[in-house]
Structure 1
Amino acid sequence: MDLSQPKTIKVKIFNTEYTLKVEDEELAYKVAEYVDGLMRELHDKLPNQSVLTIAILTALNIAEELFRERMNKGYVESEIEDLLRGLSSKVDKILSL
C-alpha cells in the first residue's frame, strides 16, 4: 500500500461507525479494534456509565499506557547510554596502554 495516499475507511467503535482518512489502513483497523475492546471492557465493568464517560475513561487509560511506554523508553535509553559510556571508557583505557 502506498502510504502517501490517504484512504477512506469505515470502522465501528462501541456500536458507532466512523469514517476515517488514514495512511495505514491495517494500523487504523487495529487501533479501532483496540479502542473498541477497551471501551467494551470498561462498559462491562461499569454498565451504568454513559458512553461519554466510557470514552473518557478509555482515553485516560490509553494516555496512561502511552506515558508509561514513554517513561520505560527513556529508562531503557538511559541504561543503554550508561552502558555505552562504560564500554567507551574501557576501550579508551585499552587503547591507551
Structure 2
Amino acid sequence: MNQPNTVTVHILDKEYCIACPPEERANLESAARYLDGKMREIRSSGKVIGADRVAVMAALNITHDLLHKQQRLDQQVDSTRDQVRHLLERVDHALAADPDDGQS
C-alpha cells in the first residue's frame, strides 16, 4: 500500500516501498532501474549466487564507476584551472608589456 511520499520500486523481483519526497521520485525510480539492471547483469553472469552477494557486487561495481568518474572529473577541473591560470598570466604579461598602458 502506498502512503503519501512513498515510492514502490522493483529490484531483482522484489518490491520495496521507499519514503521519498515527490520532487525526488523520478530520480529514485531511475536509480532503482539502474540498480536492478546491474544486479540482473551480475546474476545472469552465473559467477555470483545469492541475492545478498549479487547486491554487494552491484554496489561495488557502481561505487567503482562513481569513484572513477569523480577522479576523471577532478583531473578535468585541475586541468581547466591550470589553463585558466596560464591564460591569466598571459593576459597580465600582455597588459604589462603594453606601452600605451591602456590609454588612447
TM-score, with structure 2 as normaliser: 0.83
In the other structure, the counterpart of 2:39 is 39
Unaligned runs of 5+ in 2: 98-104
- Counterpart in the other structure of 2:53: 53
Distance 1:19 1:91, change over 3 A: same
Question: Once superposed, what is the RMSD of the aligned Cα atoms?
Answer: 1.4
Unaligned runs of 5+ in 1: 1-5
Identity %: 27
The CA distance in 2 between the partners of 1:61 and 1:48, in whole Å, is: 13
Amino acid at match of 2:71: M
Which is greater in Rg?
Answer: 2
AA at the equivalent of 2:82: D
Distance 1:78 1:55 in 2: 34
Structure 1 counterpart of 2:100:
none
Counterpart residue number, 2:18:
20
* Separation in 1, partners of 2:15, 2:79: 44
SS at match of 2:18: strand
Equivalent residues of 2:48, 2:54 under 8 A apart: no
- The letter of the residue matching 1:83 is Q
Count of paired positions: 92
